[in-house]
Amino acid sequence: MDWTYRMNKAMEYTEAHLSEPVNESAIQKIMGCSYQQFQNSFSQITGISYLEYVRRRKLTQAAYELINTDKKIIDIAYAMGYHSDDAFRVALKSLYGLTPTEIRTSHPALTFYCQLSFEMTIKGIEKMRYWIVEKDAFQVIGVRRTTPFGGGTWKIVKNDAERQRVEALTGQFYDLGLCFGFDELGNNDYMCAVTYPEAVKGYDHFQYPKTTWLVFEAKGKISEDVLDNTWQKINHEFLPSSRFHKGPLPTIEKYLCWDDAEDFCQVEIWIPQ
């Protein structure tokens, strides 16, 4: 059973159970992988977390009911899993900027968040190399931020002053990207880093223990999204069908080359076991 089929079945299950709390066991059974792995894959592909997707779908359905039916507001709230007027009002206000009553009476133009459907198209990857590395404990220092995407942290470290500071301190440029995971809104907790043996005031740091790593190579055209496509292939094809499982430590992207002018990149993806 391929990954796209499982994801679409998970979306169908989600749609049929919008009014209920998220059932992690049911999602795991459909996907054939851990709920955490499903969450990580979902966020990387869609740009939002699974819980945020569920929230948007609930409120989309609720807004439709408010505009197109005469059902009581409290009944609509209960049907979507909200157990008080206040919780329902706050949820709608946070997404649409309007209360249930305002939506019902003013019939505004609202964003409709559709049910997702997945198709898998992998481009720019001729072959995917991987190898296993046993690595001793090491520490990294750098800049860790939570932004709507990992590139938000890279923008901080790519300014000239920050590049000069870290090069003067360590003798190297930022070449590591640590992904700690996504929050409920799909924001990426990400750290741009370099290896360094001690903590430094003014910089975030993270200590890795001795660990076994599964390492992949993404090499090809930047314009063909080779890095993102390699991640998709790892998460949706390799890991679900292999004996390997991602451990709790943050994954690492090691940038060996990123040349926008030449439209070429070479990046190692390190997945802790």
pLDDT confidence of residue 84: 87
Whether 140 and 176 have beta carbons less than 8 Å apart is answered as yes
Whether 187 and 147 have beta carbons less than 8 Å apart is answered as yes
pTM of the model: 0.60
Q: Report residue 21 CA to chain centroid gap.
A: 21
Low-confidence residues of the chain: pLDDT under 70: 1, 109, 119-129, 149-150, 184, 240-243
Angle at 259 between CA 47 and CA 154, to 5 degrees: 45
CATH 1.10.10.60 in the chain: give the residue spans: 3-106
pLDDT confidence of residue 113: 80
pLDDT confidence of residue 126: 47
Fold of 130-272: Multidrug-efflux Transporter 1 Regulator Bmrr; Chain A (3.20.80)
pLDDT tens by residue, 133-152: 889 999 999 999 998 766 78
CATH 3.20.80.10 in the chain: give the residue spans: 130-272
Answer yes or no: CATH 1.10.10.60 is held by domain 3-106.
yes
Find all residues with CB under 8 Å of 261, minimum gap 6, and list them.
none
Among residues 231, 234, 226, which one has the least CA distance to residue 259?
226
Whether 142 and 176 have beta carbons less than 8 Å apart is answered as yes
